[in-house]
Structure 1
Amino acid sequence: MNVPETRELTYFVAVAEELHFGRAAQRLGMAQPPLSRAIAQLERRMGVRLLERTTRAVRLTTAGQVFLTESRKALDAVSASVRRAQRAGRPDPKLTLAMKPNGDGGLLESILRRYRLDSDAVDIEVIVCGIGEQAPMLRDGRADVAFLTAPYDDVSGFDTERLVAQDQVAMLPRAHRLAGRAALNLADLAGERLPRWPGDDADATDDGLPPVRDISQLMQLVALGQLVAVLPESVRRHAWPDVVCVPLLDAPPTAVVVAWPERTTSRAVAALIRASAEAAEAAEASAAGTLPLPG
């Protein structure tokens, strides 16, 4: 089997994301004819049609959709190998931890305190990123470890350790008809406008709003009555005065998980995972009243 080159994967991803050869060529900084020839040659070598072309549109075939997903993973893996090798080669090695605001389930301080006591610990850099950015950062090597939220974040290709389970709440503007209720069911939110998150298909929503990328943007939209949101209960810590959070009785629970790339052999990463698991266990025991949470 002829294995595609990284260059060919880059070409295909650009065309598949733009669904237009001219825009893809412009994005890649090349002329359109050689790009078209490269994609046609790739399809011949693979023996499968990746794109349906008409005079008006370019569409992904079923095979093309699968190849797009796998090509992105392959390109991320190449980027990750370079970035992690560069970090490992530094005279002062460090780990990078990615998380969204409040995405640690309240455990970060305890985790870092325990981690620093481990003989395998190195310096750690914590990057607080936008909503939905942690998994891509971990996937392409910008981060070594990340706090993710299951089931919302894509954990494929990662090993994970569950840290904290959380129930979900409905986030509503204070003037909303349901804001005074003690609890709600998901059916009560039928017909409400919900957020579009990064990576969601814009064609699958009818909100007319950009993707929500950070908690301040979300609070603003809820406070203005433009949407309601279903989120883990820890969001209460960020709620603005004119936003209320009402428990959802039938919403599936979420979980904060710590994630790292599969087959990682880093002793420093292993030490951070141990510290995370210990902090989560101590927090759970403290909540149950069986022992005090260490300072």
Structure 2
Amino acid sequence: METRELRYFVAVAEELHFGRAAQRLGIAQPPLSRAIRQLERRLGAGLLERTSRAVTLTEAGAVLLREARAALDAVEAAERRTRRAALVATGRAGVVLATKAGASSELLAKLLDAYAAEPDAVTVDLLLCGIGEQERMLRDGRADVALLHLPFDTTAGFDIEELCTERQVVVLPAGHPLTGRTHVQMADVTELPGLPMPRWPGRDGTYPDGPGPQARDHVQLFQLIALGRACWIAPESCRAQLRDDLATVPVLDAPTVTTVIAWPPHSRSRAVAGLVRTAARL
């Protein structure tokens, strides 16, 4: 199969309409229909059910849609990584490190300082991500290496090195009655009246959703907590970036969070290897 055919099929499978798919692809509808029929003949399987009113995916079509998306993502990632490798080799670009904005701040600062002191260090370009985005950027080739957090991020398909494990705390408005306690339990947090856990849009379910207001980043989240509209359970290292109007209390039975440095297993980048070695040493 050609990548062109896969792109054609994905467009039709997502739009479920040949006219809209052709418009999206910038081609005429007849050659698009011919290409899909040719793909079906080659595979020996019907991919789409066509009627005068609707287009639907067959079971085989649903399988190909999933596989085609993964294949096209892999091709795009290969293109990005190849171009980046050429730029790094000629000194025109550094290694790209993806990390969640505001997370592991102290660890990140130590890592960057220690790596910069290495004799063969290259520039580290930081890619500051929203909640749960750094894993996707590593998979699609926009990043060479990433800091991920277990159990929230998925490390399947990556090589990893564990860096640190920490307990979690609940972030509350300063002056809240719970801030006078030395510790709390998860049940204390989930039952807090008027301080629900936030919702995280666009994270593919990697972070647990609460019933509270929507937060897209830490700036929004901290503002909501300070206003008494939400609370949040986070690794205790978050204390380093908290404002004066926020406070934390350890949550004894919350799962620990392990920060790992992750990279694609097929990476042969010396810069990535050097950065990983420095992180492991720290």
Smaller-chain TM-score bracket: 0.7 to 0.9
1:164 positional shift: 1.3
Tell me which residue corresponds to 1:242: 245
Tell me which residue corresponds to 1:10: 7
Q: Is 1:77 matched up with 2:80?
A: no
Q: Give the alignment of 1:74-223 within 5 angstroms.
A: 74-90=71-87, 91-93=90-92, 94-104=94-104, 106-174=106-174, 178-190=178-190, 192-200=196-204, 207=211, 210=214, 212-223=215-226
Deviations 1:84-141 (A, max 9, x none): 2222223215211121223345223332333234454323222223222212221121
Q: What is the DSSP-based 3-state SS (H/G/I as helix, E as strand, rest coil) of the residue aligned with 2:136?
A: helix
* Runs of 5+ unmatched residues, structure 1: 280-295
**Identity across the alignment (%):** 50
Distance in 1 (CA, whole Å) between partners of 2:268 and 2:61 is: 34
Distance in 2 (CA, whole Å) between partners of 1:269 and 1:52 is: 47
Distance in 2 (CA, whole Å) between partners of 1:245 and 1:120 is: 40
Residues 162 and 35 (structure 1), Cα distance of their counterparts in 2 relative to 1, 3 Å cut: farther
Deviations 1:193-249 (A, max 9, x none): 432243236xx9685855x33210111222333332222112222223333322111
1:28 positional shift: 4.2
Q: Is 1:225 matched up with 2:224?
A: no
* Runs of 5+ unmatched residues, structure 2: none
Distance in 2 (CA, whole Å) between partners of 1:248 and 1:227 is: 16
Do the aligned partners of 1:193 and 1:226 also contact (CA within 8 Å) in 2? no
1:170 positional shift: 1.9
Q: Highest CA radius of gyration, 1 or 2?
A: 2
Do the aligned partners of 1:99 and 1:129 also contact (CA within 8 Å) in 2? yes
Distance in 1 (CA, whole Å) between partners of 2:46 and 2:211 is: 34
Deviations 1:178-197 (A, max 9, x none): 45443222223336343224
Residues 152 and 205 (structure 1), Cα distance of their counterparts in 2 relative to 1, 3 Å cut: closer
Distance in 1 (CA, whole Å) between partners of 2:49 and 2:260 is: 40
With the length of structure 1 as denominator, give the TM-score of the two structures: 0.73
Distance in 1 (CA, whole Å) between partners of 2:212 and 2:55 is: 23
Q: What is the DSSP-based 3-state SS (H/G/I as helix, E as strand, rest coil) of the residue aligned with 2:106?
A: coil
Distance in 2 (CA, whole Å) between partners of 1:120 and 1:197 is: 40
State how many pairs are aligned.
272
Do the aligned partners of 2:198 and 2:213 also contact (CA within 8 Å) in 1? no
Residues 239 and 208 (structure 1), Cα distance of their counterparts in 2 relative to 1, 3 Å cut: closer
Q: What is the DSSP-based 3-state SS (H/G/I as helix, E as strand, rest coil) of the residue aligned with 2:258?
A: strand
